[in-house]
Homo-oligomer: A and B are copies of this chain.
Amino acid sequence: MSQAADAQTTLERLAALRGAMARHDVAGLILPSSDPHLSEYLPAHWQARQHFSGFTGSMGTLVVTADFAGVWADSRYWEQAERELAGSGIALMKIGSGGAVAHFDWLAERLPQGATVAVDGQCLALGQAQQLRDRLAPRGITLRTELDIAGEAWAARPSLPAAPIFEQPQPYADRPRAVRLALVREAMAARSARWHVVSSLDDVAWILGLRGSDVPYNPVFLGHLLIGLADAQLFVDATKLPAELKAALATDGVRIAPYFGFAAALAGLPAEAVLLDPARVTLGTREALSAGAPTVETINPSTLLKSRKTDVEAAFVREAMERDGAAMCAFYAWFEAALGHERITELTIDERLSAERARQPGFVSLSFPTIAGFNANGALPHYRATEAAHAEIAGDGLLLIDSGGQYLGGTTDITRVWAIGQLGDAQRRDCTLVLKGMIALSRARFPRGTLSPMLDAIARAPIWAECLDYDHGTGHGVGYLMNVHEGPQSISKAVPNANMAMEPGMITSNEPGLYRPGQWGVRIENLLLNVPVEANAFGDFLGFETLTLCPIDLRCIDTRLLDAAERAWLDAYHAEVLRRLRPHVSGAARDWLEARTASLGGA
């Protein structure tokens, strides 16, 4: 399709939107990247923003008025958005640039008093809805949330995904469904709640011990869950459930109801206290409840429960890490041998690395789209190579690869930088500073209950010491055959709250970085498990067990900048990587592993 044809189509789509807006007397429309489950990855059915704007980035908000259309996107999408929006008449509104105005402030300033703005309350987090109202109300602008303007204007809207749902297989599922439901009900009772609504797909899947593949990367399925103290209802497309699974759910007191029957069921609840998480249910869900129903607004109990992996789960994660590390070895052994002999691009890397993971026992899918960025591309933390734009790995420089897999027994996420040809001192210095930050956090101990954001400065200190920094968090929670990004903990500049207390069994990424725009990027990432170290009068102390197993390329490191403790950590890590991965690799991969885990003494 030519650009002109694209632009024509987008113009027609915008005209249809404006027609629907006019029918409802709506002056401004907001189309965010969101669905009724507030997910990271959206089924096509809810990709309205992409459909009507032509911008395919994973985050962005389309705003339409009678004489304006604009996409608000942050810096990682500017280049892509400029390309995709060219000729459409849709403006790119750069979030985070100097003088940038948030889309709601833009609407508040441009629309006349008395105007109406619409946003679909079915796809808007309850917590955000109040903020939006607070911005628009002082300007005399009414917010309507009950209209699905995009749905009205959307010809040939894709249907909902229909991938089958399956039980989390044994022996990987540590606790029976009945136990999980009992734990959630215990938390409900402690908050005096009689009901609990769950719309976030990872929470639904965890509570029920089920998995699916309705969206890429996250092994979840579309469904809402309504939990009472005695029974529960799963709102789901029943055709996705095998008969024996239906029976098993019935045994555990979980009834099946139509996916779109969720709102009606909420409306029919007695006026008893409902526990809900304002960050993880939509305004539509709150409004479906009778206005008089008392609510207990708190974090989903399952978010806390699933963040603490059991000992059984942790043991399977260690196994998955060995498989994942073996795949990395096989890939890197091929890569280093092939480099200079065959043409390798960022896309080839994704293909070969994904193929190595797919060969591993227990592999389910990738856990997120592979980021393989050579030199300047590595400086874009969320870079993704495309057919249209990607680099060949040739000459000198740094290759950053951030990748991960879903396994039946865990979820992985690993970043390494690799030396290509000759490196300069500046590149080695950057890699070494990032490694120092990564090691400092890996070695940290802290009292149980420490709020995770308080640990962020430990990883940054060695980088700050050289007046450098990175503009992303240091770590995110990671699921168990589940979303690679999960809460409640986050090692970052987030404002701490009590839900972010570090507890045994949590898995968190450790991924400081350094980015030189137009030159190169560095990020080194391992996953860490919270493990008890010692309990004494000063507290119950936790430390980190490094789960990720893969050599760190010492050719990128200026070992003279490491102190004795850092050198000892690196040697111990490489010894452990060798010990754990050697049984899982052979031939060239084994040779490569042995070469790349040599101790610093011999380096």
Contact residues in B for A283 (Cβ distance below 8 Å): none
Contact residues in B for A538 (Cβ distance below 8 Å): 467-469
Chain-B contact segment, one of A64-72, A246-254, A453-461: A453-461
A412 to B461, CA, bound (A): 28
Q: Among residues 441 to 495 in chain A, which have CB atoms less than 8 Å away from a CB atom of chain B?
A: 443-447, 450-451, 453-458, 460-461, 464-465, 467-469, 493, 495
Q: Are B493 and A495 in contact (CB under 8 A)?
A: no
Question: With an 8 A cutoff between CB atoms, is A262 at the interface?
Answer: no
CB distance from A536 to the nearest CB of B (A): 6
A495 to B499, CA, bound (A): 13
A327 to B603, CA, bound (A): 53
Question: With an 8 A cutoff between CB atoms, is A541 at the interface?
Answer: yes
Task: Name the contact of A563 in the complex, choosing from B451, B469, B536, B563 (C-beta under 8 A).
Answer: B563
Q: Are A447 and B461 in contact (CB under 8 A)?
A: no
Q: Among residues 481 to 532 in chain A, which have CB atoms less than 8 Å away from a CB atom of chain B?
A: 493, 495-497, 517
Question: With an 8 A cutoff between CB atoms, is A5 at the interface?
Answer: no
Q: Are A444 and B461 in contact (CB under 8 A)?
A: yes
CB distance from A502 to the nearest CB of B (A): 12
Q: Are B457 and A493 in contact (CB under 8 A)?
A: no
Number of A interface residues, CB 8 Å? 36
Q: Are A454 and B451 in contact (CB under 8 A)?
A: no
Question: With an 8 A cutoff between CB atoms, is A361 at the interface?
Answer: no
CB distance from A106 to the nearest CB of B (A): 21
Q: Are B464 and A447 in contact (CB under 8 A)?
A: yes
When A469-B539, A538-B469, A564-B563 are in contact, do A446 and B464 touch as well, CB less than 8 Å? yes
Question: With an 8 A cutoff between CB atoms, is A588 at the interface?
Answer: no
A533 to B541, CA, bound (A): 35
When A454-B456, A455-B457, A458-B457 are in contact, do A464 and B541 touch as well, CB less than 8 Å? yes
Contact residues in B for A297 (Cβ distance below 8 Å): none
Question: With an 8 A cutoff between CB atoms, is A174 at the interface?
Answer: no
Contact residues in B for A311 (Cβ distance below 8 Å): none
Q: Told that A440-B461, A451-B493, A495-B496 touch, could you supply 8 new A-B pairs with CB distance under 8 A? A: A443-B465, A445-B467, A447-B469, A450-B457, A454-B456, A495-B497, A517-B537, A563-B564
